[in-house]
Amino acid sequence: AQKITQTQPGMFVQEKEAVTLDCTYDTSDPSYGLFWYKQPSSGEMIFLIYQGSYDQQNATEGRYSLNFQKARKSANLVISASQLGDSAMYFCAMRNMYSGGGADGLTFGKGTHLIIQP
Amino acid sequence: GAGVSQTPSNKVTEKGKYVELRCDPISGHTALYWYRQSLGQGPEFLIYFQGTGAADDSGLPNDRFFAVRPEGSVSTLKIQRTERGDSAVYLCASSLWGGQGDTQYFGPGTRLTVL
């Protein structure tokens, strides 16, 4: 079974600073995908970035980048030049290649509540 | 284009009642997922549809929960004999083809409160 651990329940960051949100994962499958989602107070889950386990390069999407360290089983999200609108819950999630037994769905961590201060 | 829509946005019911929650996925998406999110937690997987069939229902907590997707588009999550512990936000997501790296796009959720 797969597991996602997010060790930072909450973070306060000054506007315009970079922020790193930690995520470690555990799986026995060699092929998997890692995702980050943002959930503002409105409740909707917004997809941010994806990293495949065999991808050679770290994924980037605008101000978001994923620091993927496969040997350490970590997939930290880096937000550059944080903005007030970045304040939200952030969830790390993964999905294995093999189907069945719940593997078809995403396994989520408990999330990190990020607050950007002016 | 339109995203995933869910109705109702809020549902309040009494213990023991039956409820139906509806999900309308992004047009053309063959894969559809249901999740449940309790307060302060990440979403938990319930069931995955590929087309009309439930390809993986291992996350359904018990036989009071059932979901259908009869025409491969709209899905309905059905909960019988609701219990107070069923109170949560029920999220629906869809993806283009259901593969491992396929991005799942979420709807706004239905907040279910069982009194």
Report percent pLDDT > 70 for chain B: 99
pLDDT tens column, A82-98: 999 999 999 999 998 76
pLDDT at A14 over 90: yes
pLDDT given for residue B80 in this prediction = 98
Average pLDDT over residues A62-87: 97
- DSSP-assigned beta bridge partners for residue B33: B48, B93
pLDDT given for residue A110 in this prediction = 96
Which residue from A4, A32, A43 is facing B89, i.e. has the nearest CB? Answer: A43
The three-state secondary structure class of A29 is coil
pLDDT tens column, B82-102: 999 999 999 999 999 877 778
Mutant choice from B45, B49, B97 vs A, greatest count of A C-beta within 10 A: B45
Alpha-carbon distances, residue B60 vs A7, A46, B28 (angstroms): 27, 24, 25
pLDDT at B1 over 60: no
Which residue from B35, B100, B107 is facing A95, i.e. has the nearest CB? Answer: B100
A23 within 8 A of A4, measured Cβ to Cβ:
yes
Average pLDDT over residues A8-20: 97
Which residues of chain A have a CB within 8 Å of the CB of B104?
Answer: 35, 47, 106
A51 within 8 A of A34, measured Cβ to Cβ:
yes
pLDDT at A1 over 80: no
Which residues of chain B have a CB within 8 Å of the CB of A101?
Answer: 56, 58
pLDDT given for residue A66 in this prediction = 98
| Chain A nearest CA to B50, separation (Å) | 10
Report percent pLDDT > 70 for chain A: 95
Identify the residue whose tokens are 């495949």. Answer: A52
Identify the residue whose tokens are 């790296």. Answer: B101
In 3D space, the residue among A102, A106, A103, A83 whose CA is nearest the CA of residue A18 turns out to be A83
The three-state secondary structure class of A66 is strand
Query: Which parts of chain B are beta strand (E)?
Result: 5-7, 10-13, 19-24, 31-37, 44-50, 53-56, 65-68, 75-79, 88-95, 105-106, 110-114
- Largest Cα span, chain B: 40
Query: Which amino acid is residue A13, in one-letter code?
Result: V
B11 within 8 A of B115, measured Cβ to Cβ:
no
pLDDT at A100 over 80: no
pLDDT at A101 over 60: no
Which residues of chain A have a CB within 8 Å of the CB of B41?
Answer: 110-111
With b for 16 or more beta-carbon neighbours within 10 A and e for fewer, the A67-88 pattern comes to bbeeeeebbbbbbeebeeebbb
Dihedral sign for Cα atoms in the order B89, B93, B99, B101: negative
